[in-house]
């Protein structure tokens, strides 16, 4: 896997690794061929913020699966701690964790993917990697240990990426609830004078909506 300045970047293929999880050994990304997956790290088991995140991920797991997307958790705790923690969540909070949790107790994958930021300590930060059905990293997010993530935003981002891929369009801020465009999508900017003129002609005919030749949008 090629690295840019020591960091994993969007557009790279996810590294081929074998990992120990609460659901047994997994081969990434091979075991998820044909599926998208969201790999998210947490600083540690039996911690309050991480527990709230795991509950939210668990409650949204079926929504991710509806998008052909699986969830995978990770921290540098041992698998025994993961198992005990997910048991505690089930027994005390009534929520079953349906996804595997990687026990990266040697920190190899965490270091490879840049999940450990020395300025924030020796545990993994709250990293998120969205990987598509071809094993390509499509989105990366980092949160510090003290701020929990918004699971709905991660779900929105996966949906937006898939709609973009399918339709060859770009997605506005907070799609499908953008204050300017609503649920409409952005047509890629014209790359030539002829295409720019064509766009404006289509706008005159009502076939396309444009603020200008470089900013056109449409309904899906």
How far is 186 from 220, CA to CA, in rounded Å?
Answer: 10
Check whether the bond before 176 is cis (ω within 30° of 0).
Answer: yes
Q: Which of 19, 39, 50, 131 is catalytic?
A: 50
CA dist 167 and 5 (Å) reads 33
Instruction: Please indicate whether residue 50 is annotated as part of the active site.
Output: yes
Burial class (CB in 10 A: 0-12, 13-18, 19+), 192: exposed
Encoded tokens for 31: 């075991």
Structure tokens at 82: 């993961």
The 215-218 sheet, strands edge to edge? 185-187, 215-218, 209-212
Q: Which residues are catalytic?
A: 50
């Amino acid at each position: 896997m090629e690295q840019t300045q020591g960091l994993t970047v969007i557009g790279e293929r996810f590294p081929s690794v074998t990992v120990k999880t609460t659901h047994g050994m997994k081969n990434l990304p091979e075991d998820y061929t044909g599926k998208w997956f969201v790999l998210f790290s947490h600083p540690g088991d039996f911690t309050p913020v991480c527990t709230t995140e795991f509950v939210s991920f668990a409650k949204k797991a079926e929504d991710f699966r509806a998008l052909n997307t699986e969830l995978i958790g990770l921290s540098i705790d041992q698998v025994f701690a993961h198992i005990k923690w997910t048991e505690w969540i089930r027994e005390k909070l009534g929520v079953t964790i349906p996804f595997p949790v990687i026990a990266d107790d040697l920190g190899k994958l965490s270091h490879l993917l840049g999940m450990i930021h020395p300025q924030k300590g020796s545990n993994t930060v709250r990293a998120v990697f969205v990987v598509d059905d071809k094993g390509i990293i499509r989105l990366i997010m980092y949160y510090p240990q003290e701020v929990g993530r918004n699971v709905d935003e991660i779900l929105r981002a996966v949906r937006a990426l898939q709609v973009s891929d399918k339709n060859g369009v770009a997605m506005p801020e907070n799609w499908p609830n953008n204050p300017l465009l609503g649920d409409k999508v952005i047509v890629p900017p014209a790359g030539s004078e002829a295409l720019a003129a064509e766009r404006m002609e289509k706008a005159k005919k009502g076939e396309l909506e444009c603020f200008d030749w470089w900013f056109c949008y449409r309904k899906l």
